[in-house]
Amino acid sequence: MTQEARRWTIEEVVRWAADDFRGRGIESPRLDAEVLLARALGTPRIQLILDARRPLSAEELAGFREMVKRRRAREPVAYILGDREFYGRPFRVDARVLVPRPDTETLVEVALERTRAVSLSMRALDLCTGSGCVAITLARERPTASVWATDVSEGALAVARDNALRLGAHRLALRQGDLFAAVPAGARFDVVVSNPPYIAAGEVVDLMPDVRDFEPRLALEGGADGLAVLRRIVEGAGAHLVSGGVLAVEVGAGQAPVVAELFARAGFVDVEVRRDYARIERVLSGAFGGSPRS
Ligand SMILES: C[S@@+](CC[C@H](N)C(=O)[O-])C[C@H]1O[C@@H](n2cnc3c(N)ncnc32)[C@H](O)[C@@H]1O
């Protein structure tokens, strides 16, 4: 008599994977296990609870094991799944782009709030667009606006292009180049937004392996003090804004005071700091008031 191979149930494999992830120092072991299994089974996460005792087929188990193997190596869950939700929309992501963070939704909120007066005719520029999450969200939230988005990385732009098509951001122009060099010299915008790389070069080694070893270095590192790209954005934005136009940028924890000073020196007024969901000072914004301070 042949003995049937043991079949693992949903609750057993979730426990196994979560324990394994926990033992490797992964931050949210149970959540990661559930999210990956739900995708492997093609069901919503809630179904895992309802079907906890259901045994997995050999194919289902094999698919899940493959995902677990990648997560064990600390590959971000978003790259394994191939997508991440941002502002309620699913963005495709892979190793060519930074995984969109919830903190960056604060940048979108500030940009939308500070451009209410021009909401129908808004012209926006998103520098360092990556997956396109900020630019595409602005384009979708303001369907009559025209949005430009730029990135120095061709790979990132390919991802952004795909997201723009799938998410129906029709009035969006994507351009490759170094910051403002990617837009025509005479172009003027109502708002310039950016989530640039802002981690100091020496601090990259201290990041979680999920970030340090998988996300593009170009998306993370902002020169010796982390402010190299931010500085160029703040100094260059005035030449691309209408009078009273808004600059809004995401900054790293602890960078807000020094970036606020950069804003003031570059001629921005009404400078505001907005905290993110974790109460960290995350977004600096200001209106271009004219000439820079000497
Ligand atoms: C922190 S990621 C932000 C991606 C996306 N905006 C987001 O919020 O998820 C920074 C992006 O800036 C791009 N980048 C880095 N240096 C740049 C430069 N000098 N000019 C234009 N883009 C640059 C990188 O390729 C990367 O896609």
Are 152 and 85 in contact by the 8 Å Cβ rule? The answer is no
Domain spans in the chain, listed from the N-terminal domain onward: 10-73, 96-288
Residue the block writes with tokens 């950069």: 262
pLDDT in tens, 110-152: 999 999 999 999 999 999 999 999 999 999 999 999 999 999 9
Average the pLDDT over 216-241 and give the result. 97
Q: Evaluate if residue 171 carries a pLDDT over 50.
A: yes
Tell me how far the alpha carbon of residue 218 lies from the centroid of ligand 1, in angstroms.
7
- Ligand 1 neighbour 29 (Cβ under 6 A): no
Per CATH, which fold does 10-73 belong to? Helicase, Ruva Protein; domain 3 (1.10.8)
Class of domain 96-288: alpha beta
Distance CA 205, CA 221 (A): 11
Q: Evaluate if residue 3 carries a pLDDT over 60.
A: no
The first and second tokens of residue 235, run together, are: 């100094």
Residue 293: pLDDT band by 50, 70, 90 thresholds?
low
The mean of the pLDDT values for the chain is 95
- Ligand 1 neighbour 153 (Cβ under 6 A): yes
Q: Evaluate if residue 1 carries a pLDDT over 60.
A: no
Do 10-73 and 96-288 come out as alike in CATH topology? no
Average the pLDDT over 181-209 and give the result. 96
Q: Are strands 189-194 and 123-127 parallel, antiparallel or unpaired?
A: parallel
Q: Identify the residue whose C-alpha is closest to ligand 1 atom 14.
A: 128
